[in-house]
Chain A
Amino acid sequence: MKFDNEFFSLGYIDRLSYKETFIHNIDARVKLAISLVFIICVVSFPKYEVLSLIPFFIFPVVFLAVGEIPLNFVLKRIALVFPFVFFIAIFNPIFERKVAFYIFNIPATYGMLSFFSILIRFVLSVSMLILLVATTSFSGICYALKYFRVPEIFITQLLFLYRYIFVLSEEAMRMVRAKDMRSFGKKGTELKFYVKLAGTLLIRSILRAEKIYYAMLARGFKGIMPYRKKRIFEKKDFIFLIVSVLLLYVFRFFDVIKLIGRIFVRGL
């Protein structure tokens, strides 16, 4: 039985999200909205578009550099999810053999184009997501969701869930370690043990929820989570929003790459 070390990355991203950089300090609502629009723009390109996707990289690059997020970290996360998408995308060049054009007598098929398109979309959308989360505190994201009218109970859920993942995962990890230390490498009745472990954890969780409930009652809880903080929308947030939207619009509907290329070629 193995405890997934993914848990540690949760803690790592969480700590990254509390840094103090320009990007971190941009209002969470703006970042969330921009990320969503970004992903929609990227994903809305026709199937065989490859080059037009490239300018979009400016967003992850800026977020990464200004936000001081380690590149290795982002790459590792992308690499983790990459195989799945690759496995599905690889069918494109296999099934679609019609040739689009030739580069020095080497055929480039439509299948290849859509293959690369998928991969680039993938890298763009995943990195944007990772960077959004790495530069925005989780409660900030929840606040943004609340602002966009996501139901109260769901937000409360997210906050509680996030809060207690750390607590419960540690409990689970302790139980797994304790078992491993007594197993001497034998794998025997793993499933049986998992059930016992999960069952025990389940009961402990329910009991803990009860205690939390009592703690809430003790502090006057009457059914609705009290909420207060209003984050102010500053000038820099507004500028960031406008610039981003403009860029996204231009990148999406204008052939920036060919424009630049043409200027350069003509200039030579």
Chain B
Amino acid sequence: MHMADALISPEVGISFWALSVGGIAYSAKKLKDNMDDKLIPLMGVLGAFVFAAQMINFTIPGTGSSGHLGGSMLLSILLGPYAAFVVMASILTIQALFFADGGLLALGCNIWNLGFYTSFIAYPLIYKPLAKNGKNTFLATLLSSIIGLQLGAFSVVLQTYFSGISELPFKAFVMLMQPIHLAIGIVEGIVTTAIIRFAASVKPDILEGVYNLNNQNTTGSMKKVILMFLILTFVVGGFLSWFASSNPDGLEWSIEKVYGKPELPEKEGGILTKIKEIQEKFAILPDYTFKKVETKETPAQKEEEKYPNIDVGTTVSGVVGSIMVILLLMGTGFLIKAFKKRTV
């Protein structure tokens, strides 16, 4: 499921952008070190393959509803986690840009939700151990597809919830997303296995050749990657709560903790003061609170902060102003069109 720009807050959007870009940068580095050049066109073409395969809808037997391939598990199996993550990110980028699937700000979330869990959690922790020596590939693919999608779906719920824009209750959203994605995961697992098996039966040496291109997959280094990402998540989460805290002193407090003194050496002061300024600005904005998580125990206070005072008087000028602006906008549009016609 793709996140949309309208439902996320900038913090959530930017945080996940940071995470995804970090993921891409890390994967890129890993690839650059180990990669066979042949992988470059292969990644691009397989990305196009997944894209094309996604455009074909098939009916799911027994349900009558139509589905299409996700492809992230397929890519991970064929290309290894790093290449698969990069390819998945590129597919999602093009979908976001051309089909408005999600949006620009939400792209970071989408890349994370649909790419990270499959490539860096489901694939190394579930698929690889289970599918060792070519056994149990069906079970391995099925389980990793299901879990990858479950994690991704839950991510969507968390991101929506923490953005605080939608009122959709957490529990209801979860109850909606998880079962649906369980079904999708099952179909994905089955279809992915079937496709690979079919291709292998027709031209075994070709798939072999592809597998041989991927040799950067020791479980040891994977654990490091996962650990690193978990740490990153905590760091980002901590950073988020700084923004949320309407207390700018939170920054100084942290500085003191880290550096042992309340002020930083001159050099870094510049950037940090800037950040502090931005943070203060956000704190000043009415109701700009992320505090939903922290203030669960004070509902009364929450109510008060949440609802801005709406003054009917100013609302009138607001409405009039809006009408004027809309007229202005339409006028501008027509003027431009007329200008163009005349100069043709």
Give A contacts to B, CB under 8 Å.
1-4, 6-7, 9-10, 13, 35-36, 39-40, 42-44, 46-48, 51, 54-55, 57-58, 61-62, 64-66, 68, 77-78, 80-81, 84-85, 88-89, 91-92, 94-96, 98, 100-102, 110-111, 114, 117-119, 121-122, 125-126, 129-130, 132-133, 138, 141, 150-154, 156-165, 167-169, 171-172, 176, 187, 190-191, 193-203, 205-210, 212-213, 216, 221-223, 225, 256-262, 264-265
Contacts and interface: CB of A to CB of B under 8 A. Distances in A.
A168 B51 contact: yes
B236 interface: no
Contact of B206 (A10, A42, A141, A206): A206
B171 interface: no
B289 to A, nearest CB: 9
Interface string B259-294: 000000000000000000000000001111000000
Interface in B182-225: 191, 194-196, 198-199, 202-203, 206-207, 209-210
A111 B7 CA distance: 14
Nearest to B172: A91
B90 A154 contact: yes
B180 interface: no
A165 B51 contact: yes
A166 B40 CA distance: 18
B82 to A, nearest CB: 10
Given A129-B103, A169-B51, A203-B199, A1 B56 contact: yes
Interface in B218-254: none
A39 B165 contact: no
Contacts, number: 343
Contact of B104 (A13, A36, A88, A98): A36
Interface of B: 2, 4-10, 13-14, 21, 24-25, 28-29, 31-32, 37-38, 40-49, 51-61, 66, 68-69, 86-87, 89-91, 93-94, 96-101, 103-105, 160, 164-169, 172, 191, 194-196, 198-199, 202-203, 206-207, 209-210, 285-288, 307-308, 310, 312, 314-322, 324-326, 329-330, 332-333, 336-337, 340
Give the 3 A-B CB pairs with smallest separation, nearest first. Answer: A160-B44, A261-B321, A261-B317
